[in-house]
């Protein structure tokens, strides 16, 4: 029996989501895993958003491991739907792994700065006056530490799309690196 | 025994986080609940981010109900740490409720538009070419539907801060409305 991996991420919002999902499932098979891509794109399910939600929850219950595309989406952090699913699978005590095509850490993306004239080593703040976490992590503490505490890791392989220079959302290279990490972690368990 | 409510939200990033947390705990007492504010601000814990993470997870396990401040934070969605915790408590089958001081729905905040010349009733897209969920919800599907499926609700009380006009992050009015909803839902269970 191959390990079942839930493939969480904002990939479902890509114009070619179905193709990206099939390619990721194919890469899973190359590593001897079974990939479970969320059903948002499935016509019978996608017509009803309550069904999408419940189908995704069922898939997460069925999966042995969660793999999360943490590439920033519409802001400095991972997609909130993806992060919800990370919390869900972590609470179920399933191992969770992450990957991203963005190499910057959270502090760099938010541009946290010290208060002018403030004490050394005091907290950093964004342009709206909200504190910025300064833990040297790639995203919000809860996201990163859940992955670490579950025994997982975050694979970072920087990719840039020309000419805009943004990190490509599908993050295929980091995805491969993540599956390689999982493969090494679970060697002999398949 | 009063019901214990975990107080999730980006409030921990406010400059006066400790004061906001104490005020929310006080409002909980007015309704006969015990509020549990995350420990990020606790000096002994805050020095170690691994401790913050684990302390918050323990608090969520102890709580009977989760109440989530979903006011948008650094983008069109709720704070990712908050959303992680929503997924966590939902997976533990705890009732989850939300509140926000922003009355706009997700589609309005992202400015999704149809593809020019596309088919009627086709999907909407953002300026980067990513699909925008068009379910008439206040945030990402997984966030909103989890709350509905758990039997909870989202309290929306619009507040604006002059002169910038943004939604205030602490969202005290919506918080009170949310506790009122919980109080009515759990009448007699205390």
Structure-derived torsion over alpha carbons of residues A58, A64, A65, A69, reported in degrees to the nearest 10: -30
**How many CA atoms are closer than 13 Å to the CA of A6, on its beta-carbon side?**
26
Q: Residue A158: CB partners within 8 Å, gap ≥ 6?
A: A101, A102, A103, A167
Q: Would you call A66 an interface residue with chain B, using a CB distance cutoff of 8 Å?
A: no
Most confident by average pLDDT, A123-137, B64-78, B154-168: B64-78
**H helices of chain B, where?**
17-30, 43-46, 49-62, 80-91, 106-110, 141-149, 172-185
pLDDT digits (tens, 9 = 90+) for A3-12: 999 999 999 9
Residue A156: strand pairing partners: A100
**What pLDDT is attached to residue B117?**
73
Question: What ipTM, to 2 d.p.?
Answer: 0.94
Range in A17-21, A32-36, A165-169, B91-95 with the lowest mean pLDDT: A165-169
What is this structure's pTM?
0.94
Does residue A178 have a pLDDT over 90? yes
**H helices of chain A, where?**
17-30, 43-46, 49-62, 80-91, 106-110, 141-149, 172-185
Q: Which of B75, B83, B143 sits opposite A74 (nearest CB)?
A: B75
Work out the percent of chain B whose per-residue pLDDT is above 90: 74
Q: Do B142 and A110 touch (CB under 8 A)?
A: no
Spatial CA neighbour of B79 closest among B17, B29, B24:
B17
**What pLDDT is attached to residue B111?**
85
Higher-pLDDT residue of B97, A188: B97
**What pLDDT is attached to residue B114?**
83
Distance CA B155, CA B152 (A): 10
Average pLDDT on B9-26 reads: 94
Crossing angle (nearest 10°) for helices A80-91 and A141-149: 40
Does residue A42 have a pLDDT over 70? no
pLDDT digits (tens, 9 = 90+) for A85-139: 999 999 999 999 999 999 999 999 998 788 777 777 678 999 888 999 989 999 9
Q: Which of B80, B139, B169 sits opposite A140 (nearest CB)?
A: B80
Q: Do A49 and B129 touch (CB under 8 A)?
A: no
Distance of CA B185 to CAs A14, A131, A169, B94, Å? 39, 35, 41, 14
Q: Would you call A143 an interface residue with chain B, using a CB distance cutoff of 8 Å?
A: yes
Does residue B187 have a pLDDT over 90? no
Q: Would you call A15 an interface residue with chain B, using a CB distance cutoff of 8 Å?
A: yes
**What pLDDT is attached to residue B115?**
77
Does residue B124 have a pLDDT over 60? yes
**What pLDDT is attached to residue B72?**
95
How high is the mean pLDDT of chain A?
Answer: 90
Q: Do B86 and A89 touch (CB under 8 A)?
A: no
Q: Which of B12, B50, B87 sits opposite A87 (nearest CB)?
A: B87
Does residue B190 have a pLDDT over 60? no
Q: Which two tokens stand for residue A20?
A: 């990206």
**What pLDDT is attached to residue A44?**
62
Does residue B40 have a pLDDT over 80? no
DSSP3 helix / strand / coil % (chain B, rounded to 5):
40, 15, 45
**H helices of B63-167, where?**
80-91, 106-110, 141-149
Work out the percent of chain A whose per-residue pLDDT is above 70: 91
**What pLDDT is attached to residue B85?**
98
Distance CA B59, CA A66 (A): 24
């Amino acid at each position: 029996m191959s390990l079942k991996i839930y493939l969480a991420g904002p990939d479902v919002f890509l114009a070619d989501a179905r193709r990206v999902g099939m390619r990721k499932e194919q890469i899973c098979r190359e590593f001897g895993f079974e990939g479970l891509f969320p059903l948002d794109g499935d016509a019978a399910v996608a017509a009803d958003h309550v069904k999408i939600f419940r189908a995704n929850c069922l898939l997460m219950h069925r999966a042995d491991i969660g793999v999360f595309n943490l590439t920033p989406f519409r802001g400095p952090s991972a997609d909130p739907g993806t992060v919800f699913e990370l919390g869900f699978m972590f609470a179920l005590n399933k191992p969770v792994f992450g990957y991203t095509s963005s190499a910057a850490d959270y502090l760099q993306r938010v541009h946290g700065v010290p208060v002018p004239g403030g004490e050394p080593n005091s907290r950093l703040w964004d342009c709206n006056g909200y504190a910025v976490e300064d833990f040297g992590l790639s995203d919000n503490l809860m996201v990163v530490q859940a992955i670490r505490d579950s025994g997982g890791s975050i694979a970072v392989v920087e990719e840039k799309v020309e000419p805009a220079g943004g990190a490509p959302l599908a993050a295929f290279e980091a995805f491969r690196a993540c599956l390689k990490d999982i493969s090494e972690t679970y060697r002999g368990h398949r």
